[in-house]
Amino acid sequence: MDATSLSLLERARGRVNQAWDRLVALYQPLIYNSLRSHGLQHHAAEEMTQEVLLVVLRELEDFAHPGAPGAFRGWLRVITANRARAYWKAGKHRPPPAGGPDFQAIVEQLEDPNSELSHRWEREHDEYVLRRLLELMEAEFEPKTLAAFRRQVLDGVAAEQVAQELEMSVGATYVAKSRVLARLRKEAEGLLDESSFC
């Protein structure tokens, strides 16, 4: 993984191929799965995911992160909603079966930052990105170090219990948590607000 202190967004904005590939690896499944969960067929979800990523590639350079929590995920949500609306207006979406979700209503909810669907998008985004970043960072840490971090941070287990489970000292569990958290903060900069993993 690139050890530079720049965030992933900054590296991708600078057209660093590895950073863009990493951003796609991180977000492509999230966008696709979100679209599929709203009733889009496989090919339609794939096509829209590619369209969203193309817009991100084209406009990332102009995206000015204001430093507010969730700015990138909100920007991505709006792009997804806009591409979905364009897809619907172009007549590419087949009507859902009787009793199925109304695609236009879903798009409208996704556009509204205060809707339940937008709040769900934000929660799913943060949970997914956190877990995916940890997967992408696995090679950088010993399995026991990651296990200590996951048990303390993601599962909320006390350091003493984690130390017993993993047969390590309590101090070592705190060190493991600190090392992974420092690396995660660096990698998640601009993608997640810190409350997502602290």
Say what percent of the chain tops pLDDT 90: 25
CATH of the domain at 120: 1.10.1740.10
185 and 122 housed in the same domain: no
Mean residue pLDDT of the chain comes to 80
Cβ(73)–Cβ(122) below 8 Å: yes
152 and 73 housed in the same domain: no
The reported pLDDT for the residue numbered 94 is 54
111 and 160 housed in the same domain: no
Long-range Cβ contacts of 174-179 (<8 Å, 24+ apart): 176/141, 176/144, 176/145, 176/146, 176/148, 176/149, 177/148, 177/149, 177/152, 177/153, 179/141, 179/145, 179/149
Best mean pLDDT range from 40-49, 79-88, 160-169: 160-169
Mean local confidence (pLDDT), 136-160: 92
Per-residue pLDDT band for 12 (boundaries 50, 70, 90) equals confident
Q: Is residue 15 scored above 50 in pLDDT?
A: yes
Q: Is residue 100 scored above 60 in pLDDT?
A: no
Can you give the residue range of the structural domain that contains 50?
1-138
pLDDT: which is higher, 107 or 120? 120
pLDDT: which is higher, 43 or 68? 43
CATH of the domain at 167: 1.10.10
Per-residue pLDDT band for 3 (boundaries 50, 70, 90) equals very low
Q: Distance (Å, rounded) from C-alpha 154 to C-alpha 70?
A: 20
pLDDT: which is higher, 85 or 164? 164
Q: Quick: pLDDT tens for 168-198.
A: 999 999 999 999 999 888 877 767 766 666 5
Cβ(70)–Cβ(193) below 8 Å: yes
Domain count, the chain: 2
The reported pLDDT for the residue numbered 120 is 84
